[in-house]
């Protein structure tokens, strides 16, 4: 049986702090090798361009060793860039080498840190020793044993892993990237659930039946009713379960973009990585029998003579083959939105008239969302369903498709085209929003906000972004007046002002919106004063609603609905839940609700077969 240890869990996780903060120090290096005469002792700094904003790398050197790396002031994303900085800093200091691989899933941040350390070493006198030294040796094992193997360490996978551990199972999580969290990490964290305790305080009338109907109808009545019922009936239990393992939610609910209802729960600290950090803390603090094997991509499912799944074979990035023996496997690998060839192949649904090639980005981390889990399940006999149901999101960044900077969700914002005209209800469903955007000049638009959303340029929004950093990266346009904003963006100033005036009239109730936007007098306010900010957006592939066919037990099933023995699936890699359009806030609800379900049922199955 594989050894479960604190070290093995921390490997590759966001809990590894910056090397400087941990006080990591290396032993003395070898002096004199290759003419190396040592460093000039001291602290050196270098400015590098990160993924989110420029940051400073500070490195201390003794005569013969790199002693400390500190990049704690970076604004890289929690659980992604920040995690990579901690993991990579540790590796550099421990190995006294720059021959350390970038953390899969955070390549830009990794490259920036490595460049910063190299620049500091050059200032200290010599880079040859760090460049010549061998990198760290990976300590992944050839074989692991567990009761449940979870393939994928995102939100759904970690929920399944914890749920399985709570049911008494020993769990191994096989994760392709060097960071945990997947798409949940970079989401805004919205989770839909009917929650009388919160909603009644806000005067919100809601019911589980209303939530069910909104989900089914929002998916154009193409979702599987029993799966939709399971999702909406058990969503609040997911909120309570997450709170029991350390997640803190805000006291008030909101409405995610395209949620079709005010029932979206948000974490108390910025975005979806708050869930991942809470899950990691829970595993660490409780000693839950969950081991993470990261940087390892699952290749095939192992089956016995009867066709039952009995494990997973994977490939570590070092080239080593890794096998996990387990009587139950949960696939939680996310969708296929970043697999351009595959998404074009199956794009016969709502977006069949849109070419989803690499000109259309994806909100997911590119090494993820490749559809790996679908191929694994299909190879074991599971059916796939709803593959043409691909969702686009209106909050894409031009060129990458990532959801960054000023977000489209929330309140007190308007959407205008390149001329300055409003063209859609900001509260419309996501497919309606994207169709309206494609009809605009150059298939793009601006989201415009003002001081209501950003009272201070240095105060982070709920996603951890600041106006100051967005401006430093030249991702947004800022102006004191609407006239100046129009000039900076190329909009017609009269049209932009008319759009703002019309929006304000809708908010104060003196005018009905021609596009159907309904103001909320508890959340919306008139936008009247600068500073004003505009961020250009494009549609981007956000979610693939199709995937592995499952039943309400989260078992993967074949075309006839027969379960594949030992195989479970949850999260975005599954199909049949959301129909042809997913409501904003329903993805994380899905991950947590079916993740808990898959983990518990997989553990029970493993126990029954032991």
CA dist., res. 547 & res. 331, Å (int): 11
Strands (E), 230-353: 264-265, 290-293, 296-303, 309-316, 321-325, 328-331
Short-list 512, 589, 601, CA closest to 563: 601
Distances (CA, A) of 474 to 32, 53, 73, 407: 45, 10, 20, 16
How many angstroms separate the Cα of 519 from the Cα of each of 253, 425, 431, 554? 16, 10, 21, 39
Query: Encoding tokens for residue 31?
Result: 């002096």
Contact 93, 121 (CB under 8 A): no
**Residues noted as catalytic:** 430
Q: Which residue has the tokens 């050839």?
A: 142
Q: Please name which of 240, 291, 394, 386 lies closest in space to residue 13, comparing C-alpha atoms.
A: 291
Strands 148-151 and 328-331 turn out to be parallel
- Distance between CA atoms of 255 and 122, rounded to whole angstroms? 50
Cα 191 to Cα 255: distance, rounded to the nearest angstrom: 9
CA distance linking residue 99 with residue 279, whole number of Å? 31
From CA 145, how far away is CA 375, in angstroms rounded? 23
Residue 471 burial class via C-beta count within 10 angstroms: exposed 0-12, middle 13-18, buried 19 and up: middle
Find the largest Cα–Cα distance for the chain.
Answer: 80
Nearest to 330 by CA among 77, 12, 553: 553
- Core vs surface per residue 459-468: b (16+ CB within 10 A) or e: eebbbbbbbb
């Amino acid at each position: 049986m594989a050894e479960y240890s604190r070290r093995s869990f921390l490997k590759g996780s966001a809990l590894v702090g910056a090397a400087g903060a941990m006080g990591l120090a290396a032993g003395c290096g070898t002096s004199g090798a290759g003419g190396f005469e040592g460093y000039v002792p001291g602290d050196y700094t270098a400015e590098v361009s990160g993924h989110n904003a420029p940051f400073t790398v500070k490195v201390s050197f003794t005569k013969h060793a790199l002693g400390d790396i500190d990049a704690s002031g970076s604004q890289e994303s929690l659980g992604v860039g920040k995690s990579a900085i901690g993991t990579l800093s540790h590796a550099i200091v421990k190995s006294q080498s720059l021959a350390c691989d970038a953390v899969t899933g955070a390549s830009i941040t990794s490259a920036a840190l490595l460049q910063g350390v190299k620049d500091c070493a050059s200032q200290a006198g010599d880079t040859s020793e760090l460049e010549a030294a061998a990198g760290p040796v990976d300590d992944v094992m050839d074989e692991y044993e567990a009761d449940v193997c979870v393939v994928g360490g995102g939100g759904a996978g970690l929920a399944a892993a914890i749920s399985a551990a709570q049911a008494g199972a020993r769990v191994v999580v096989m994760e392709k990237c060097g960071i945990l969290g997947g798409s949940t990490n970079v989401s805004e964290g919205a989770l839909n659930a009917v929650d009388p305790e919160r909603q009644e305080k806000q005067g919100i009338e809601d019911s589980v039946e209303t939530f069910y109907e909104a989900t089914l109808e929002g998916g154009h009545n193409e979702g599987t009713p029993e799966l939709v019922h399971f999702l909406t009936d058990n969503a609040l239990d997911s909120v309570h379960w997450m709170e029991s393992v350390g997640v803190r939610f805000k006291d008030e609910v909101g409405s995610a973009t395209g949620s079709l209802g005010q029932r979206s729960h948000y974490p108390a600290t910025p975005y979806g990585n708050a869930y991942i950090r809470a899950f990691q803390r829970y595993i660490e603090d409780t000693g839950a029998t969950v081991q993470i094997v990261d940087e390892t991509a699952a290749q095939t499912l192992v089956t016995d003579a009867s066709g039952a799944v009995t494990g997973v074979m994977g490939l570590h990035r070092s080239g080593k083959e890794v096998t996990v023996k387990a009587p139950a496997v949960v696939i939680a690998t996310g969708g296929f939105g970043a697999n351009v060839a595959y998404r074009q192949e199956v794009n016969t649904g709502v977006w069949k008239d849109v070419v989803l090639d690499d000109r259309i980005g994806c909100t997911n981390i590119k090494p993820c969302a490749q559809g790996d889990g679908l191929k694994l399940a299909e190879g074991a006999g599971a059916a796939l369903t709803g593959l043409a149901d691909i969702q686009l999101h209106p909050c894409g960044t031009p060129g990458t498709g990532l959801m960054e900077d000023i977000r489209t969700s929330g309140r007190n914002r308007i959407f205008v085209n390149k001329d300055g005209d409003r063209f859609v209800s900001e509260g419309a469903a996501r497919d309606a929003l994207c169709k309206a955007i494609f009809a605009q000049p150059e298939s793009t638009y601006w989201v415009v906000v003002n001081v209501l959303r950003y009272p201070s340029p240095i105060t982070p929004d709920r996603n951890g972004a600041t106006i100051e950093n967005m401006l430093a990266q030249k991702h947004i346009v800022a102006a004191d007046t609407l006239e100046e904003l129009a000039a900076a963006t190329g909009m017609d100033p009269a049209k932009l002002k008319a759009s703002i005036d019309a929006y304000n009239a809708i908010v104060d109730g003196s005018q009905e919106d021609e596009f159907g936007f309904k103001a909320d007098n508890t959340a919306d306010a008139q936008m009247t004063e600068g500073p004003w900010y505009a961020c250009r957006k494009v549609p981007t592939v956000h979610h693939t609603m199709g995937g592995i066919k499952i039943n309400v037990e989260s078992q993967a099933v074949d075309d006839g609905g027969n379960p594949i023995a030992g195989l479970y699936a949850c999260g975005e890699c599954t199909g049949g839940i959301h129909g042809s359009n997913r409501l904003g806030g329903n993805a994380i609800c899905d991950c947590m609700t079916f993740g808990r379900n898959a983990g518990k049922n997989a553990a029970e199955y493993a126990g029954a077969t032991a």
